[in-house]
Amino acid sequence: MRVLALAILGVTVTTAVLVWACFGIVRDAERMQRDPKFLRRRALLLGTLYVISAAYGVSQVIEGNEPPIALIGLPIAAAFAWTFLKAAANVKPPQP
């Protein structure tokens, strides 16, 4: 009975977090349409996050902590990083 209650609680908390995150994404999407500086900051943040994650994964493989098969998703992460960083570079801030 305790396992069932824990599973229900876990699913409830996870669902609440996902709903909260989705509402945040919708709010941020509307703000990014109005504010190019916010769009640029968000794209730079996400691009940097993917670059750092990819570098960490590569370093773990080089050190021998992970098998080389762990790099199978590296091209996808590189594509995301490139897309976000290119989008950030293409955003033109408004001129005062």
pLDDT per position as a tens digit, 6-55: 999 999 999 999 999 889 888 888 888 888 888 899 899 989 999 999 99
> What pLDDT, on a 0 to 100 scale, did the predictor assign at position 17?
95
Token digits for 94?
Answer: 């408004």
Token digits for 77?
Answer: 């992460």
* Amino acid at position 89, single letter: A
Q: Which distant-in-sequence residues (6+ apart) come within 8 Å of 42 by Cβ?
A: 28, 32
Q: 43-81, pLDDT tens digit by residue?
A: 999 899 999 999 999 999 999 999 999 999 999 999 999
| Domain spans, the chain | 1-34, 35-91
> What pLDDT, on a 0 to 100 scale, did the predictor assign at position 96?
67
Place of tokens 């091209």: 75
Q: At 82, is the pLDDT very low, low, confident or very high (cuts 50, 70, 90)? A: very high
